[in-house]
Structure 1
Amino acid sequence: MEVLRIILTQSSANYKKEETVLNKMTYPLPPFSTIIGALHSACGYTYYHPMDISVQGKYESMHKEPYTDYCFLNSIGEGDRGILVKMKNENLLSTAFDKVAKAKKPQGNSFRKGITIDVINQKLLEEYRGLKDLSDKIDEFKKNRSDKVLLLIKKRKSTLTNKKKKYEINSPELKLILKREKQIKELEKEIKQRLKVYKNKEYEIPYSKFACLTTSLKYYEVLNNVELILHIKSDENTLKDIKENIYNLKSIGRSEDFVDVKEACFVNVVDEIKEEIISEYSAYIDYDLIKNEHINLRSKTGTSADGTKYYLNKNYIPENNKRIFKKRKVVYASQYSADEESENIYFDISKDKSYIVNFN
């Protein structure tokens, strides 16, 4: 069977485990979905092209890499903690912002009153305080002016309602009352609408650009000097597309985890060999192959050994605006071997190296 073999290296990589939050742990090899997504992106595919993947490789070492995590709070309040910022785009919670001031204590601070804060941008802080003052003025106007006018309108509407009961339908007096009632309702609507528009334009929209965030130091697990051997099984056209576009593959894992493609070629894999092959790479092996002893796991001393079980994403099906991933139960194994009696296993035999290939 002819398949596509890709050999690539990465100086560093993090294949994030989706269930990790505080510190972003990494899989030892990229999951199937990560590779499939990267290949689809390199080819410019907009829909899923079915393929099976064999993933094996190794890395030299692993270290932890610090990063700053930004957490936006739900609201800004007196005595709030963290850092006051002004967003470049209030519709996106991103790192595109200007710092305004920083609270010195966990509580009891006030950006508005200048209590226990470090000012970073005085101009933006004055803008923030001006908006808070405007909010107070709007509330005061509403309480002392518009609400009182609306109360009078409400009483007037009630009076007109009682008057309507005294006159017959289609009488001149009733028509006059209905006309006056309509005018009063329009006035009421205009007063409410004008205040709403003014508050939204002058206060709510500008104020929505301010936010409060906290920062914390977290860590990525980063693999160093990664070597990956990928075998891809798919239809002829898809394999040709991948080979022709392989140098569009820029990264696997994070966007900064660049790849260096060493080889992309078609090879023939076979299911029969003359003697046992011991892999020099770690790999994701189908769990049933391990369970049924079609793959032999061994430690460095030659005794039997176990691997690490994972449920890895492969491809997904859109359902109710969600991605429902198909899972593969695999074992991450090192120092494993296979021979001619192994089932559902292929072998890539070349002059320099031989690979045990297990498609998932």
Structure 2
Amino acid sequence: MEVLRIILTQSSANYKKEETILNKMTYPLPPFSTVIGAIHGACGYKEYHKMDISIQGKYDAMHKEPYRDYCFLNSIGEGDRGTLVKLNNKNFLSTGFDKVAEAKKQQGSSFREGTTIQVMNQELLTEYRELKDLLDRIKDFEENRVDKVLKLIKKRKKDLADKKKKVKENKEALNVVLIREKQIKELEKNINDRIKAYKVNEYEIPYSNFAILTTSLKYYEVLNNIELIIHIKSDKETLMDIKDNIYNLKSIGRSEDFVDIKDASIVEVVDTIDGPITSEYSAYIDYNLIKNECVFLKLGDKITANGTKYYINKDYVIEDNKRIFNKKKVVYTSEYVAEEGSENLHFDISSEKSYIVNFN
């Protein structure tokens, strides 16, 4: 069976574990979905091209690389901290913002009062303070004017409800009460709607453009001096297309994790070999191959291979506007041995090196 073998190196890379948030941990090898996505990007594919992937490789070391993480807080409250900013577009936090002022202390700073802050844009800070003053006036108006009127309306509605019970047998009198009740309810609704509309348009919408930006120091796990051997199984046309476009593959992992393509060749993989092969690379091996003792760890006698079990994303389907990933149950292991092929276990034999190829 003909497949495409790609050999590449990276000086550094982070293959982010999707479940890590605070610090971005890395897989020891890129997930299948990461490689498949990078290949689709290199070829300019707009639709999914079905393919199976074998990934093996090694790296020299791992270190932690610091980065500054930016976070927008959900609300601006008392005890201001971080940096007050005005967003260019509140619906897209990443499109940019203008810095207004920065709190100089973790506690006790106030953008409104000007306590222990560094002002960066006085005009925007004045706008922010005027909005806070406007909210105070709205609250005062609601408490001292609107609430009193609404209480009178509530009392009037209760009086009309009692009156309806008394005149329910008198259609003419009941109709007068119902008309007045409708007028009272419309008045109540009109007052509430006008107050709400004013508050939304004059305060809430302008104020929502302001946010608090905080920063913290976090870390990437970064692998160093990586060598990857990737085998791809697909139809002939797709394999040739990937081979022709492989030098468009710029990175795997982060955008700055550049790749250096050493070789891309169509090779023949076989199912039978003369004797057992020991891999010099680590790899993602199908869990069932290890469970069924098709792959062994070389420690003298044959024993079941040990390693780290992962559920690795490969591809996905969209259901209810959500990506549902097809996860492969694999074991990350090294120094493993195989001596006979199976449905998804093959061998790439060359004069220089021989590879155990497990397609997932």
**TM, length-normalised to structure 1:** 0.84
| Secondary structure of the corresponding residue to residue 214 of structure 2 | strand
Q: How is 1:115-126 mapped onto 2 (pairs within 5 angstroms)?
A: 115-126=115-126
Partner of 1:310: 309
- Aligned-pair distance for 1:55? 0.5
Aligned to 1:345: 345
1:81 aligned residue: 81
Aligned positions of 1:192-341 closer than 5 A: 192-290=192-290, 294-298=294-298, 308-311=307-310, 312-318=312-318, 322-339=322-339, 341=340
Distance 1:145 1:243 in 2: 76
Match of 1:16 in 2: 16
Gaps of 5+ in 2: none
**Which range moved further: 3-12 or 286-295?**
286-295
Taking a change above 3 Å as real, the CA distance of residues 124 and 180 of structure 1, as seen in their structure-2 partners, is same
Judged with a 3 Å threshold, the aligned counterparts in structure 2 of structure 1 residues 103 and 306 are, in CA distance, closer, same or farther, namely farther
Distance apart, 1:29 and its partner CA: 1.1
Q: For the residues of structure 2 that align with 1:338 and 1:303, how far apart are their CA atoms?
A: 10
Does the 8 Å CA contact 2:23/2:218 hold for their aligned counterparts? yes
Contact 2:290 2:304 in 1 (8 A): no
Q: Deviations over 1:12-67 (max 9, x none)?
A: 31101233333212112101122223334445556654432110223344332211
How far apart, in 2, do the equivalents of 1:337 and 1:251 lie?
31
CA distance, structure 2, for counterparts of residue 45 and residue 115 of structure 1: 55
Mean Cα deviation higher: 20-29 or 179-188: 179-188
Query: What CA distance in whole angstroms lies between the structure 1 residues aligned with 2:189 and 2:76?
Result: 31
Q: How many Å separate the matches in 2 of 1:137 and 1:328?
A: 60
Aligned CA distance change for structure 1 residues 185 and 303 (closer, same or farther; 3 Å): closer
The code of the aligned residue for 2:315 comes to N
Which secondary structure does the structure 1 equivalent of 2:28 belong to? coil
Map of 1:107 onto structure 2: 107
Judged with a 3 Å threshold, the aligned counterparts in structure 2 of structure 1 residues 248 and 182 are, in CA distance, closer, same or farther, namely farther
Unaligned runs of 5+ in 1: none
Report the AA paired with residue 167 of structure 2.
K
In structure 2, the residue matched to 1:58 is 58
Task: Provide the rounded CA distance (Å) in 1 between the counterparts of 2:60 and 2:280.
Answer: 13
Contact residue 270 and residue 341 of structure 2 kept, 8 A: no
Q: Which residue of 1 aligns with 2:188?
A: 188
| Larger CA deviation: 269-278 vs 286-295 | 286-295
Aligned residues: 357
Query: Contact 1:298–1:305 at 8 Å: present in 2 too?
Result: no
Question: Which residue number corresponds to residue 166 of structure 1?
Answer: 167
Mapped partners of 2:293, 2:241: distance in 1: 36
Shift of 1:332: 2.8
User: Could you tell me how far apart the structure 1 residues matched to 2:178 and 2:22 are?
Assistant: 65
- Please tell me whether the aligned partners of residues 157 and 184 of structure 1 are also in contact (alpha carbons under 8 angstroms): yes
Deviation of residue 8 (structure 1)? Answer: 2.9
1:292-311 per-residue CA deviation (whole Å, 9 max, x = no partner) reads 55445448x99999653131
Q: Deviations over 1:122-171 (max 9, x none)?
A: 22222221111110011111112222222333334444444554375552
Query: Counterpart of 2:253 in 1: which secondary structure?
Result: coil
> Which residue type is aligned with residue 90 of structure 1?
K
Query: Once the two structures are aligned, what percentage of the paired residues are identical?
Result: 70
SS of the residue corresponding to residue 59 of structure 2 reads: strand
